[in-house]
Amino acid sequence: MGRFEEMAGEFYLLDWTLEVDTNEAYVEALEFVIKFYKNNSDFCLDVAKSTAKVLGKDVTSSDESESGKIKTFKLFSVK
């Protein structure tokens, strides 16, 4: 018996390329998030910190602008 046959309940596997990637609402939302990420350093840093936490890593700033906002950052593994 395969992996999916052992799972209880009903489920549907979608075709990402056909059902999501081409969906107009998804494309618009993705473009918004990408633009927001590129133009908002606070959001960018929050994404980095959240991702680092999930990956078990720590984020530290390596470059701060005059305004004190972090422009770049590096991820380091937690030991």
Q: pLDDT by residue (tens digit) across 43-65?
A: 988 988 898 888 887 666 555 44
In a domain, 2, yes or no: no
Tell me, yes or no, whether 22 lies in a domain.
no
- Total domains in the chain come to 1
Supply the range of the domain harboring residue 53.
30-77
**Tokens of residue 50, six digits:** 């959240």
Q: Is residue 54 part of a domain?
A: yes
pLDDT above 70 covers what percent of the chain? 66
pLDDT in tens, 68-78: 444 455 554 43
Which residues have a Cβ under 8 Å from the Cβ of 48 and sit 6 or more positions away?
59, 73, 75
What kind and span of H or E run contains 35? helix 24-39
Per-residue pLDDT at 3: 67
Distances (CA, A) of 53 to 17, 27, 48, 74: 29, 27, 9, 13
What are the residues whose beta carbons fall under 8 Å from the beta carbon of 37, sequence distance 6 or more? 43, 44, 47
The model carries a pTM of 0.56
